[in-house]
């Protein structure tokens, strides 16, 4: 699970959104794809929160939403028995950074 999985799940997204998702994903750390995607989403949220009310970060907000959704999907596909704990950890991380 990696680049091919991500491309498969974002191929119908607008090209600019796909590129922004990949940009954040490539710069994120994580030992698993779900963790890397969640970390990428956190990075996108940091950008959005550093420019409150600024429409220039709209694409970053969309990327953050997509990355969180993809992180949860990847977790559900790889280890569904840990999905709840993973989702809670993503939420807690978002709250602590916000």
How does pLDDT run across 38-84, given as a tens digit for each residue?
A: 999 999 999 999 988 888 999 999 999 999 999 999 999 999 999 99
Tracing tokens 């809670």 back to the chain, one arrives at 88
Pair 43, 82: CB distance under 8 Å: no
How does pLDDT run across 3-46, given as a tens digit for each residue?
A: 899 999 999 999 999 999 999 999 999 889 999 999 999 999 99
Residue 97 confidence (pLDDT) above 70: no
Instruction: Determine the number of helices (DSSP H) and then strands (DSSP E) in the chain.
Output: 5, 0
Q: Give me the number of domains the chain comprises.
A: 1
Categorize the per-residue pLDDT at 2 as very low, low, confident or very high, splitting at 50, 70 and 90: confident
Categorize the per-residue pLDDT at 95 as very low, low, confident or very high, splitting at 50, 70 and 90: low
Residue numbers of the domain that contains 46 = 3-97
């Amino acid at each position: 699970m990696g680049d091919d999985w991500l491309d498969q799940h974002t191929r119908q997204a607008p090209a600019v959104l796909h590129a922004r998702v990949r940009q954040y994903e490539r710069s994120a750390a994580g030992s698993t794809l779900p963790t890397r995607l969640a970390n990428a989403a956190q990075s996108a949220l940091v950008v959005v929160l550093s420019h409150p009310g600024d429409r220039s970060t709209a694409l970053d907000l969309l990327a953050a939403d997509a990355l969180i959704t993809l992180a949860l999907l990847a977790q559900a596909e790889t280890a569904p028995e840990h999905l709840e704990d993973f989702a809670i950890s993503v939420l807690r991380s978002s709250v602590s950074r916000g």
